[in-house]
Amino acid sequence: MYSNKENVNILTALLVAHGVRHAVVCPGSRNSPIVHNLNECPDIHCYPVTDERSAGFYALGMAQATNTPVVVCVTSGTALLNLAPAVAEAYYQHQPLVVISADRPAAWIDQLDGQTLPQPDALGRFVKKAVSLPEPRDEEERWYCNRLVNEALMVRHAPVHINVPISEPLFDFSVSSLPVERKIELLPADTPAHTLSHVVRMFMQAKRPILIAGQPMNPNMDEAVCLVEDDERYVPDFVLYIGNSIVSKRVKRFLRKAKETWAVNETGEVNDTFMNLTHVVQGDGDVVADQVRFMLEQQPHPFVQRWDELLERARQHAVAYEPPYSQMAVVKCLNAHSTTFHLQFANSTAIRLANIYACHNVYCNRGVNGIDGSLSTAAGFSLVTDAPVLCVIGDLSFFYDQNALWNQNLRGNFRILLMNNGKGGIFNMLSGLEQSPARDKFVAAEHHTSAKGICEQNDIVYMRADDMVEMQEGVDRLLQEQSDRPMLLEVFTDAAEDERVFKDYYAQFKKK
Amino acid sequence: MYSNKENVNILTALLVAHGVRHAVVCPGSRNSPIVHNLNECPDIHCYPVTDERSAGFYALGMAQATNTPVVVCVTSGTALLNLAPAVAEAYYQHQPLVVISADRPAAWIDQLDGQTLPQPDALGRFVKKAVSLPEPRDEEERWYCNRLVNEALMVRHAPVHINVPISEPLFDFSVSSLPVERKIELLPADTPAHTLSHVVRMFMQAKRPILIAGQPMNPNMDEAVCLVEDDERYVPDFVLYIGNSIVSKRVKRFLRKAKETWAVNETGEVNDTFMNLTHVVQGDGDVVADQVRFMLEQQPHPFVQRWDELLERARQHAVAYEPPYSQMAVVKCLNAHSTTFHLQFANSTAIRLANIYACHNVYCNRGVNGIDGSLSTAAGFSLVTDAPVLCVIGDLSFFYDQNALWNQNLRGNFRILLMNNGKGGIFNMLSGLEQSPARDKFVAAEHHTSAKGICEQNDIVYMRADDMVEMQEGVDRLLQEQSDRPMLLEVFTDAAEDERVFKDYYAQFKKK
Amino acid sequence: MYSNKENVNILTALLVAHGVRHAVVCPGSRNSPIVHNLNECPDIHCYPVTDERSAGFYALGMAQATNTPVVVCVTSGTALLNLAPAVAEAYYQHQPLVVISADRPAAWIDQLDGQTLPQPDALGRFVKKAVSLPEPRDEEERWYCNRLVNEALMVRHAPVHINVPISEPLFDFSVSSLPVERKIELLPADTPAHTLSHVVRMFMQAKRPILIAGQPMNPNMDEAVCLVEDDERYVPDFVLYIGNSIVSKRVKRFLRKAKETWAVNETGEVNDTFMNLTHVVQGDGDVVADQVRFMLEQQPHPFVQRWDELLERARQHAVAYEPPYSQMAVVKCLNAHSTTFHLQFANSTAIRLANIYACHNVYCNRGVNGIDGSLSTAAGFSLVTDAPVLCVIGDLSFFYDQNALWNQNLRGNFRILLMNNGKGGIFNMLSGLEQSPARDKFVAAEHHTSAKGICEQNDIVYMRADDMVEMQEGVDRLLQEQSDRPMLLEVFTDAAEDERVFKDYYAQFKKK
Amino acid sequence: MYSNKENVNILTALLVAHGVRHAVVCPGSRNSPIVHNLNECPDIHCYPVTDERSAGFYALGMAQATNTPVVVCVTSGTALLNLAPAVAEAYYQHQPLVVISADRPAAWIDQLDGQTLPQPDALGRFVKKAVSLPEPRDEEERWYCNRLVNEALMVRHAPVHINVPISEPLFDFSVSSLPVERKIELLPADTPAHTLSHVVRMFMQAKRPILIAGQPMNPNMDEAVCLVEDDERYVPDFVLYIGNSIVSKRVKRFLRKAKETWAVNETGEVNDTFMNLTHVVQGDGDVVADQVRFMLEQQPHPFVQRWDELLERARQHAVAYEPPYSQMAVVKCLNAHSTTFHLQFANSTAIRLANIYACHNVYCNRGVNGIDGSLSTAAGFSLVTDAPVLCVIGDLSFFYDQNALWNQNLRGNFRILLMNNGKGGIFNMLSGLEQSPARDKFVAAEHHTSAKGICEQNDIVYMRADDMVEMQEGVDRLLQEQSDRPMLLEVFTDAAEDERVFKDYYAQFKKK
């Protein structure tokens, strides 16, 4: 029988799954649920040592002898600090000590209650990873708890620290079995050829595999998901996730239905975007993607084909749909041009529209999605390339970063398409927010400003458009006119109409 | 109408209570519940500024002009980082900026989701206090959330950061009124005379005031509380809390029933041990306590008298009760001696028994209650005093710190009373733990070791006792014999009997 | 005889000066210079304890018994980590442990050399102050070393950590006496009345006292110092330093000649601006200054009078000097106006000119002197006052923060005087920099931008001036015209001429 | 012409060496030496941008466009903080921004001087490496400065921060050429096969290559180096450094004469033990060493052979030398035994003697060389192996960690050889220390304690030896006797004699 503490049980199950076989345990009441559990596991052998300082070195010696991770489990308070000497020694010896400390709930730190001190980062830089587990109360927190334990146990050749807050009552040992917990495995970079073929084989053998490249993005994916919604035939079982952030919330939510995700990145970090990560492949995502695409050409996969057809339908709708004058019409018009451009999209509405219309090579600051530097990023890009660089940007982002235009470096290959509807248009589309009287003025930052002044100030060629014709002409000039100076086209639209068209686009698509 | 997010409402209510009147607000969806709330407060004026860097300096200028704390509220992501320049400037200008940032739940940091980065400590040392609020789901977490906001808003002359994770859905504005929230006030050290008389007056005017001095402790308080339990006539309404940690969990639980606590300490820190703190008085607790006791002599207070009578009954029971041979008999026997000693108790059982029998001047490492250094602390104490120093200690604590005896400084005034029952006796008394097969070996660290060897090794005079007579003789020698070397009396008792006597003591008392 | 290590000797001298009498010392070679020194001090008693964990608790017990700070001195490596349990306990007991750890030079951390680990912050939040001493090689570093030790030993009621890197060779004990070291004392806030009268008495009794208020600043002080230079008759022996940062580098350098400085601030922090701080008075600077000024009225002080005369001469020169058209003429013209204004100066040239001409109530972001938010700070200020607010600002600062003008809050009481000479004018005045070909373009950020565009964009009333007459008319309008919208006057001057006039002003003054 | 600031020149030279081609530079005086230098480099193109926030994003865009590291250089103060948004975005985009900030000397932080704030860690976790350069004044500091810059520039796919304190005077541009600086290269783990063959080839092609494995150690290396001293014929030009810490200071000093070191480790960290590191090979050291040894068998290398002969001579001296009764005799006696044992040596004298006599498979806690846990480490080791484990340990280390014997896990395969000479014997050998009266009592921690008591207390079989015969018999029993309980042999020697013999050993060897 096991403790009834969920975080303790998740931890125990994952210790077993990650192959821990030895645990040095120290006395205490707060950590007794953990010690109890370890003692219940047939695969784990417990060694009681009372002096925690000595216990830490015991675990070190056992790690040396077995070449495997060894647990040392202590109660709350200075117990943890007594481990510091052994942990520091293990750090420099590259030995995998797994320090597990029981803790009180964070609310009680520094409240003059018993044996409480700030534990989560108490071992400083002598552990390569330190996590503090939640006491989960819903699925999201259970997922979080699982992920944190996995993150700690995936570390190789170094001590880690898992801090476990446990609320009272402590002594209920009535759970008959440990939960079945997802284990995340790291495929490290040191065997690249072997790893690559393993990943590709897993993909090809899956029943319903899907290849997801973050931004630069899978075009039309958002609409496709919008269409199939819960249709089981489209839900993948195996996601191979290459690259960076996904723009569409809808797509992320959809991919959480998959059974497992294998993620590829250079640093081996754990990004559990779809909440079902099982393998982290340390390596170059592009190489993996190329190999998968090559295999698919040799040997088409029915599930991949089904998705390709769906995406093609979405693409055709995008082509067929004729938006009236609005921000969507602007982005669509852009796409009609054959000129080759480097495209930099700003966040918010701009990148959402790009998701529908833009072709493949799109840049966007999706790392933390700030409003703050899109114009500067595009400007910087234009300085070190001779090709034209086009920045598509909304009004808030533009004025926020208008200092991007205040310097002597800019050249004529820099072009700006400013979509100005007088506020943060994205906020119009957030359902429920309309009930707040603060929305327009405080949340969406309504304003009445034009870029004309700043363009004069910085010697930027300025054009404006207020209807479809002016806009199309403006885009033509923007993309084709030769100029020594940067050019900017400011397209004024109506925020309410922008919102209406955006919704209509999806409504039409679903009707089909 | 207000947001339905509890942490946002607690925050808003306390901003109003602490006198905030101006808020610079920046656009965003994650922070819209906060902005909405600020805009709903008649006492708070909102100023929308889109560029967060500029917004921070706006708030700084407003703080300069009004000499009051000014809020600047931003959404999640780099929005917060854009405030750093203004916050650093405010830090060196000693201006009270209140930075409020919306955040995603911690589970989503580094998962490649939108606008997520590690926010809680992002402003580094440029804020004097940084708190991250929970999304409360029970009373304890609501209390925690309240306390954190209070801690931040109690800071004077410096910027602070309040980070507010908010889960989706974000846009529900259906709560009709803000909660009534406890405000904690700081009475700073710069007006000591005035503050002192204010505190004493509050005490004397309260209906049911109680003066609590932490460790060194209120003797017999634990038993007294055990007796009255929920008797309303003994529940205080006003707690004046002087000094450090309280040993008895029962006492702490009891004092949580009081309406409010005023705590006195030198540093002005917030220790909300009884969960009802309303005032922190920065000053010397002993001075305050002396003054209160002086006033009580002049003008007795009926509620204080009622408690004094209760404590006297507890004291008499302690005197009258005749424990059979056990650890309790040892500590009682000690107390019968009239010799003056500095008393140092170790943690766990030793200090619990001291709570019953020891007279006033007792030392014990209750800061973090470690098992680790009690013997060394007592030994160090003995080096710089000529009076005898007695250390009363259990077996685990003793062996843990036996290196305290391995040095050339020790002199004859150091005496040790070692109570050895072969394990961490305290673990026997934890109800429920007996169900775990891990208890004796792993949790309570059962052992069969005597101090004889270590005493020989370090030239300590060794005595042992196995029954009442030997014990009493031993204690006599320990307290009275002249010696150039330290002396140790090891008293062997039976852990089960120790437990039985301890419980009987309380049972007898309650029967009366 | 003492060690030949200077940082060890400074440390030893200050331990004695701050009243340390007991030191627990642990074996080791790296810390042997410190242990040797402690053992040489007749006032300090050493207690050898080998197990560092035990040693920490020894020191704790001694601090309890003596109510004084007690040293515990350890060698490098994990020795320090073994102290963590005792230090944490001391932290919560508010006991003044002084942890001294020997260390290797920072260059050797993580180089797989013996007993090296990152020591400076190894005790985390369990010490209230952690400093790592330099191995000084010039006067500035000796001063730094002295200050760091003082900072640590000024902490009350809490453990501190002093880390002492010591280079080889370690064993030279040939210095015959400890250096005479400045001790810095803290006068804490808890006895305000007593402290106040003490400080005032010290001031009045000094032979050559001077009262310095940081920004808002002592006007004409910079010129005065420029005039007297090394004239001994003006050098103070006692500086009473109230308030915040000093703008003038020349003034700071001058005040470093004084014998001692007493600084007053609310938090008791150590700001050793003049390198001769001896007392930190925790309290309200304005109260102290008022009291001193009151006393001076009662009882004039000849040295203060001598300075007042000097400052009056400087003031008269400022009045008499007639600058030709330049930035200086602008600021002087401002000063001629009798209108009451809140004045906010930006950094760089603006505040330097303010030092000459502005009357008392001047605001300026001198906390960290950023170029970044002066305009926003002034704008924020204007929102919460009905009086007019004037921001005097140079071109780089203005364009940097032009987003201050992009919001809906601004009202007509906000006025801007923009001094545009096409670059960071301050860089022209840095002697030596003219030799770098990078100066104008990269260091001074030369540009050709006007504020006209941004004013149009944000509906700000725009005026420009290109000569003396236009400037004077512009300033008149700026200060007197009623307007619902903010107004801006952009004054274009020639950077070379600005520089010439500024230098001439000082040259003329010195000629007299 | 370049600046006369050495750290700036080292930095500039390494930026060029690591292939930086683009730098966004922001105005300022403190950073003008850096900007000047960048502008002087023909290979680096500078782009001036005044608003630092915008500048950061410019650099990000340029990194995206060029796929190379891009510098952004700012002055001190909030300038750095304005970069935070772009750096955070770059962190999540894995873009290699190189942030360079000028700073004041650390002594001036928080002294109310201009533009000073704590810069070294101001960018928090958004940079993968943050270094703060010294202003070097000797060769060691120049080496340190070089190493720090290399460490930062070796980071891949992430932003880094290089903070550069620069003392006044700032404007001297009189240095005619940049220094020639060592570049350290990282060979990452993702191309293991290729890397391996490259490393082996480099070794075999070197003129004077040497393979150094840290602890477990190169036996007899210390004596060998002692013999050849400065003999040029033995100085390597190419060091291939596998594994962990080197015990012998003499060996480390010797290897610093080599031209370059290639180090192999699993994490790619920079451990510049010999101060001449040029390549860090991320991989498994044992694999590399095996491959090199295999190649050497195929194709002997004359320089390696010369060293093998030297080591063989040292080995023969070790065999031939007959130490009288002393600690050296103990360790030699051990070595004579053929029994297979796991050997765990404690630090200080024990491991130094092991360097001479022990055969290959020796464990020792050399990570941070603590005195604190050697006995526990050996004990822990013995729990998870059936083979005998022998711990060779000095008195201080033994008593420090005697709690290693206080638990119920120990079995008969654990054996302890305790060498007790009544103090930290190593301190006798430190030349110069004998002049301090503190040496024996405080530095070497002289004591008179035997392990007999602690052995009784914990049921350890105890033996003692006071002369050669008893010692040899004791060692025989220790290594051969069957026992259910651990066994300990305590060998008492005279510290002075131990020292004499140790020195004689080397003297005899050199005489030959």
* Contact criterion met (CB < 8 Å) for C32 and D445: no
Among chain A residues, CA nearest to C79 = A85
Q: Does D125 touch chain B (CB under 8 A)?
A: yes
Residue pair D391/D364 in contact by the 8 Å Cβ criterion:
no
Does the beta-carbon distance from C111 to D424 stay under 8 Å? no
Cβ <8 Å between C170 and D430? yes
Contact residues, A window 396-425, toward B, CB-based 8 Å cutoff: 396, 399-400, 424
Burial class (CB in 10 A: 0-12, 13-18, 19+), C232: exposed
DSSP annotation of C121 reads: T
How far off is chain B from A428, nearest CA to CA, in Å? Answer: 10
How far is A140 from D407, CA to CA, in rounded Å? Answer: 42
Token readout for A485 is: 């100076």
The answer to whether the CB atoms of A403 and C402 lie below 8 A apart is yes
State the alpha helices, DSSP H only, in D67-107.
78-81, 84-93
Residues in chain D closer than 8 A to A125 (CB atoms): none
Q: Do B49 and C407 touch (CB under 8 A)?
A: yes
Is residue A326 within 8 A of residue A468, CB to CB? The reply is no
Spell out which residues of chain A touch residue B137, defining contact as CB-CB under 8 Å. Answer: 137
Q: Which residue has the tokens 């050849």?
A: D228
What tens digit of pLDDT does each residue of D9-38 get? Answer: 999 999 999 999 999 999 999 999 999 999
Phi, psi of B70 (to 5 degrees): -125, 135
Q: Is the pLDDT of residue C216 over 60?
A: no
DSSP-derived letter for residue A413 is: T
Contact B384 C62 (CB under 8 A): yes
Q: What percentage of chain D reaches a pLDDT higher than 70?
A: 98
Report how far residue A414's alpha carbon sits from residue A396's, in angstroms, rounded to the nearest whole number: 20
Interface residue B443 vs chain D (CB under 8 A): no
Of the pLDDT bands very low, low, confident and very high (cuts 50, 70, 90), residue C360 is low
pLDDT beyond 80 at C114: no
CA dist C130 and A137 (Å) reads 40
* DSSP annotation string for D172-211: ---B-SPPP-PPPEEE-TTSHHHHHHHHHHHHHHSSSEEE
User: In the numeric block, which tokens belong to residue C251?
Assistant: 């003034």
CB contact under 8 A, A370 and B107: no
Most confident of the ranges B335-349, B358-372, C301-315, C345-359: C301-315
Determine whether the interchain pair B442/A25 forms a contact, defined as Cβ–Cβ distance below 8 Å: yes
| Mean of the per-residue pLDDT values of chain D | 92
Chain C stretch 274-293, residues whose beta carbon is closer than 8 A to a beta carbon of chain B:
283-284
Backbone angles phi, psi at B390, to 5 degrees: -110, 130
Contact C65 B407 (CB under 8 A): no
Cβ within 8 Å of residue C297, ≥6 positions away = none
pLDDT tens across B270-312, in order?
Answer: 999 999 999 999 988 888 999 999 999 999 999 999 999 999 9
Region D127-148: mean pLDDT is: 96
D56 chain-A contacts, CB cut-off 8 A:
373, 376
pLDDT at B151 exceeding the cut of 60 = yes
By C-alpha distance, which of D155, C120, D267 is closest to A158?
D267
Chains sharing 3 or more CB pairs under 8 A with chain A? B, C, D
Quick one: closest CA in B to A117, which residue?
A: B368
Residue of C81, C89, C112 with shortest CB distance to A88: C81
Give the nearest chain D residue to B51 (CA atoms): D53
Burial A12-48 (b: 16+ CB within 10 A, else e): bbbbbbbebbbbbbbbbbbbbbbbbbbbbbeebbbbb
Chains touching B (3+ CB pairs < 8 Å): A, C, D
pLDDT-based confidence at residue A440 (cuts at 50, 70, 90):
confident
Contact A35 B441 (CB under 8 A): no
Chain A partners within 8 Å of D121 (Cβ)? none
> Chain A contacts of D53, Cβ < 8 Å?
372-373, 376, 403
Q: Is C56 helix (H, G, I), strand (E, B) or coil?
A: helix
Which residues on chain B are in Cβ contact (under 8 Å) with A115?
368-370
Are residues A124 and C121, on separate chains, in Cβ contact within 8 Å?
A: yes
* Cβ atoms A487, A478 nearer than 8 A: yes
Residue the block writes with tokens 């390198």: C275
Amino acid at B157: H
Chain B residues close to C363, C-beta within 8 Å: 64
Q: Is omega for the bond preceding A42 within 30 degrees of 0, making it cis?
A: no
Residues A76-133 pLDDT 10s:
999 999 999 999 999 999 999 999 999 999 999 988 887 789 999 999 999 999 999 9
Provide the shortest C-alpha distance from residue D400 to chain B (in Å): 7
Write out pLDDT tens, residues A387-421: 999 999 999 999 999 999 999 999 999 999 999 99
Asked whether the predicted pLDDT for residue B158 surpasses 90, the reply is: yes
**What DSSP line would sit under A109-175, residue for residue?**
TTTT-TT----TTTTGGGSSEEEE-----SHHHHHHHHHHHHHHHT--SS-EEEEEE-PSP-----B
DSSP of D285-297: HHHHHHHHHHHHH
Q: What is the mean pLDDT of residues C399-423?
A: 94
pLDDT, tens digit, for every residue of D88-124? 999 999 999 999 999 999 999 988 887 789 999 999 9
Measured between CB atoms, does A114 come within 8 Å of chain C?
Answer: no
Residues of chain D contacting residue A380, judged by C-beta atoms under 8 Å apart: 24, 47, 57-62, 65
Least confident of B19-23, C180-184, D242-246: D242-246
- CA nearest to C209, candidates C316, C288, C318: C288
Determine whether the interchain pair C430/D170 forms a contact, defined as Cβ–Cβ distance below 8 Å: yes
Cβ of residue C449 closer than 8 Å to a chain D Cβ:
no
Average pLDDT over residues D353-366: 78
Chain C CB contacts of A408 below 8 Å? 441, 446-447
Test C453 with A450 for CB contact under 8 angstroms.
no
CB-based contact (8 Å) between B243 and chain A? no
Nearest CA in chain A to D192: A190
Asked if B407 contacts B433 with a C-beta cutoff of 8 angstroms, the reply is no
Least CA distance to B379: which residue of chain C? Answer: C58
**Category of D147 on φ-ψ map: left (φ > 0), alpha (ψ -120 to 50) or beta:** alpha
CA distance A325 to chain D (A): 31
Which residues, 6+ apart, have CB-to-CB distance to C454 below 8 Å? A453, A454, A457, C399, C402, C405, C460
Q: Which amino acid is at B112?
A: L
B171-212: per-residue pLDDT in tens? 999 999 999 999 999 998 877 888 889 999 999 999 999 999
Instruction: Mark yes or no for CB contact D82/B85 under 8 Å.
Output: yes
Q: Is the pLDDT of residue C352 over 90?
A: no
Residue C510 has pLDDT above 90, yes or no: no
pLDDT at C358: 67
**CB of D124 within 8 Å of any CB in chain B?**
yes
Q: What angle do CA A255, A258, A263 make, to 5 degrees?
A: 75
Alpha helices in B1-51 (DSSP H): 6-17, 32-40
Q: Dump pLDDT digits (tens) for B456-512.
A: 999 999 999 999 999 999 999 999 999 999 999 999 999 999 999 999 999 998 887
How close C456 gets to chain A, by Cα (Å)?
6
Task: Decide if C192 touches B, using CB distance below 8 A.
Answer: yes
Q: Most distant CA pair in chain D: distance in Å?
A: 82
Kindly state whether B105 is in contact with chain A, defined as any CB-CB distance less than 8 angstroms: yes
- B133/B9 Cα distance (integer angstroms): 12
Test C170 with D432 for CB contact under 8 angstroms: yes
CB D107 within 8 A of CB D59: no
Chain B residues in contact with C62 by the CB 8 A cut-off are: 380-381, 383-384
Looking at residues B158-170, what average pLDDT do you find?
Answer: 96
CB contact under 8 A, D28 and C443: yes
What is the distance between the alpha carbons of residues B46 and C409, in angstroms, rounded to a whole number? 10
In this predicted model, what pLDDT tens digit does every residue of B72-117 receive, in sequence order?
Answer: 999 999 999 999 999 999 999 999 999 999 999 999 988 888 778 9
Using an 8 Å CB-CB cutoff, list chain A residues near B214. Answer: 112
Structure tokens, A17: 């799954």
